Amino acid sequence: MCENSTRIICPVCGEIDKSLVEIYNISLRKQDFALSPVLPTCRQCNSEIEIADPPKGAELIILNGTCGSGKSTVAEEIMKRYGFAVIDGDCMLQVLRCRLGGRKAEYNSDEALDEIGREIDVLAALGYPIVLSHIILPKDWCRYKEIFLKRRLKYSHFLLKPDIDAAISRCNTRTCHKSVTPEYWIRYFDESLLFNGSADVFTIDNTDLTVDETVMKIMETHQRI
């Protein structure tokens, strides 16, 4: 491990202490959404900070599942209760859009994966265990795994798979997003998210579980890893 060589660099102020880092960018946050985009800046000058020699071996919980499966709600709860920092897929795309001058990137593009890697490095350098709440298709899983293995993350991967009707009704009733996710997409992701035979993905049917029960189940499994 080379954790001692990790440095937080502000392009204006030079090397800075982690207490001077503002992790989230609130102005990029979606209305009424509890999770914020990770875009760390220096509190002294507002420049985006960089990480030199990010640490290896950070802790990561991956929450996968279709829209309305409860990823964000569960992520928020793990953040509040256990002090994890959250990388939310939607928030990550907001940051990326800002970086790309307004151009939209796909949720599973190389640019998106690079951004996730960058956010993991920052949060790990600041000493956080991390939750990644994101839709990861089986065909893309290897690409994500590469990012995690490269950083020697201690990760566990959970697929939240409630009844499709429960997911659809959650998407239709929740107020945190301005636009409702089309049913077509909810079904598409639900049907695509099958990790049959993949021993390293834990599927949780949370149709009849409270957020509390889901969180307990995840933390119990994660702590065994």
Window 194-223: contact mask with Zn ion (x via CB under 5 A): ------------------------------
Find the largest Cα–Cα distance for the chain. 52
Q: Which is nearer to Zn ion, 13 or 137 (CB)?
A: 13
Q: Which is nearer to Zn ion, 13 or 194 (CB)?
A: 13
Q: How far is CA 222 from CA 50, 130, 135, 162, 225, in A?
A: 29, 12, 19, 20, 5
8 Å CB contact between 138 and 194: yes
Specify the stretch interacting with Zn ion by CB under 5 A; choose among 4-12, 21-29, 119-127, 190-198. 4-12
Q: Which is nearer to Zn ion, 45 or 149 (CB)?
A: 45
Distance, CA of 130 to CA of 84 (rounded, Å) = 5
As given in the structure block, the two tokens for residue 19 are: 């207490």
- Total number of residues that touch Zn ion (CB under 5 A): 7
- SS3 string, 89-106, reads HHHHHHHHHHHCCCCCCC
Q: Which is nearer to Zn ion, 27 or 179 (CB)?
A: 27
Window 44-73: contact mask with Zn ion (x via CB under 5 A): xx-x--------------------------
Window 6-45: contact mask with Zn ion (x via CB under 5 A): ----x-xx----------------------------x-xx
Backbone angles phi, psi at 67, to 5 degrees: -60, 135
* Contacting residues toward Zn ion, per CB under 5 A: 10, 12-13, 42, 44-45, 47
